[in-house]
Structure 1
Amino acid sequence: MREGAPDPGLYDYIPYKNRRKIVWPEGKTCAVWVAPNLEYYEIDPPQNPHRKPWSRPHPDVVGYSYRDHSNRVSHWRMADVMSRHGFPGSVSLSVALCQHHPEVVRDGVERGWEFFSHGIYNTRYSYGMDEAQERAIIEDSIETVEQATGQRIRGWLAPALTHTPRTLDLIAEYGLDYTCDLYHDDQVQEVKVSKGQLASIPYSLEVNDHYGFNVYGMAGREYADALIRQFERLAAEGEQSGTVMCIPLHAYLIGQPHRIGPFEEALRHIAADPRCWKARAGEIVDSWRAQQ
């Protein structure tokens, strides 16, 4: 039998059954965090030999303007629904948005949202970067977000989910303490890095609105129902050991007029459940870390 590729050794294998019990504040069983992706896409980005930023020839007016709906209209529609039901945002931020549309970033600050880096632009990828380039992006993220929000970023979601083999080690070296780039678990887990400590907080592709609408072809009510079913299962399993549910959002998708109503119904349902801990990403990591 031919041997497969070696285990990359990013984290230990810990079977879900019979894990150490995690207890969330006030006896809640499922920590729910909402991750709005506040992004900036370039209409004519530089080419990356490993991946095309747009499927159409550049400049892609359609792709750009469709996503620009987030920063002109639908951010406020989405954010108001979140605020109405008591969900703070933990923002996956295209750091360039701090310069391009500071009003959007300022609105998140005023709502008490947490910010972490999603790279500089969502049309510039980590593929092919050397170490100096990757360090420059991390340093730019730390400095720019701190100037714009007063917060030092703690987390990382790679731009367009693109990485190098050194990404996790580098963000930990710079003092960031959580990553959203591993999708392997429904609880916070330790990541093995060369320096410092790094936790993997559950993000989600399955209930990410991009996957729901653009990959799975869900209608708004189908997506809202998926959120409720995701929560109900995780909250029940969290009786044994606290679970985490992430709701990753893109305002130009979830904030469309025909989708926002069903989404609000789902948030209302989850918020009313006494098993739900409405938390920021950093609060979840801190609570988990204190129990290790």
Structure 2
Amino acid sequence: MIEGAADPGLYDFAPYRARPKITWPGGKTVAVWVAPNLEYYEIDPPNHPQRKAWARPHPDVVGYAHRDHSNRVSHWRMAEVMSKHGFPGSVSLSVALCQHHPEVVADANARGWEFFSHGIYNTRYAYAMDETQERAIIEDSIRTVRDATGQTIRGWLAPALTHTPRTLDLIAEYGLDYTCDLYHDDQAQPVKVGKGSLVSIPYSLEVNDHYGFFIYNMSPREYADTLIRQFERLAAEGEQSGTVMCIPLHAYLIGQPHRIGPFEEALRHIAADGRAWIARAGDIVDAWKGQQP
């Protein structure tokens, strides 16, 4: 036998067609949730020894200003289209946005959107953090979002998808009950943690607009068609056991004038289909938990 790295033991293996059946409200076959990343990027962040915050030397005016389009213009364009078609957001929030642009956070809150933490800044990475530093970020996230919105965060998406070996254990210890940091399944699944309990809700890299436009070089119509094909397949498979589809968004990408039209067509298709339970992340986690032994 060839020895390899140890299994990290984050979750048990569960074959797709050998699980207890999941059902969604109203007989829907796929739970669809939209995850707008409302973020703040520093123009001149502190250097990190393991990763550069910007591809260009910083201060990176171009990178900063491109992303700042989210908070000045494209959040509003994206949010209005979502609201028009009945899609609430579950916000992956750089919590520093509560101080930098509270108007954006207030708009999302007024729309009934849910908030979970995406760290403080998306230009600060968890690599090499000690436990005290990581606890401080979690505590800051809980306190800042509660003060700004009245909500107590339940979920976590690590800043810039960066982690330490203790991240999942710590967020569960602080009472958060879902993580978006595992991309291993199309259904909610339990995660093994030291204290408390934690659920992995399906997030997505494959239909994330960042991957669509920056990695896969899709056109706006190709991306919209990808969302529809993702939905159609998951809705069909969900007839056997309810599936989950996440649509992760960045307003400075999807909210550009030339992209928003095809995206709206995809939302219209999903909303009109009849098989989608359009929900927030916490609603999906609660429905899943209610069906566990």
Paired residue secondary structure (2:232):
helix
How far apart in 1 are the matches of 2:2 and 2:222? 43
Aligned length: 292
Q: What is the Cα deviation at residue 6 of structure 1?
A: 1.2
How far apart in 2 are the matches of 1:100 and 1:229? 37
Q: Does 1:108 align with 2:108?
A: yes
Paired residue secondary structure (1:199):
strand
Match of 1:246 in 2: 246
Match of 1:161 in 2: 161
Match of 2:256 in 1: 256
Q: Deviations over 1:260-284 (max 9, x none)?
A: 0000000000011111000000000
User: Which residue identity does 2:170 align to in structure 1?
Assistant: L
Match of 1:212 in 2: 212
Match of 1:38 in 2: 38
Q: Does 1:221 align with 2:224?
A: no
User: Which residue identity does 1:272 align to in structure 2?
Assistant: A
Match of 1:126 in 2: 126
Unaligned runs of 5+ in 2: none
Q: Deviations over 1:68-111 (max 9, x none)?
A: 00000000000000000000000000000000000000000100
User: Which residue identity does 2:206 align to in structure 1?
Assistant: E
- Cα RMSD of the aligned pairs, angstroms, is 0.5
Q: Deviations over 1:199-227 (max 9, x none)?
A: 00000000000000000000000000000
Paired residue secondary structure (1:218):
coil
Match of 1:175 in 2: 175
User: Which residue identity does 1:243 align to in structure 2?
Assistant: T
Match of 2:200 in 1: 200
TM-score when normalising by structure 2: 0.99
Paired residue secondary structure (2:34):
strand
Match of 1:288 in 2: 288
How far apart in 1 are the matches of 2:236 and 2:263? 22
Q: What is the Cα deviation at residue 17 of structure 1?
A: 1.2
Match of 1:80 in 2: 80
How far apart in 2 are the matches of 1:32 and 1:17? 21
Q: What is the Cα deviation at residue 2 of structure 1?
A: 2.9
Q: What is the Cα deviation at residue 18 of structure 1?
A: 2.7
> Runs of 4+ in structure 1 displaced over 3 angstroms?
none
Unaligned runs of 5+ in 1: none
Q: What is the Cα deviation at residue 244 of structure 1?
A: 0.1
Q: Deviations over 1:137-165 (max 9, x none)?
A: 00000000000000000000000000000
Paired residue secondary structure (1:137):
helix
Paired residue secondary structure (2:116):
strand
User: Which residue identity does 2:271 align to in structure 1?
Assistant: A
Identity %: 84
TM-score when normalising by structure 1: 1.00
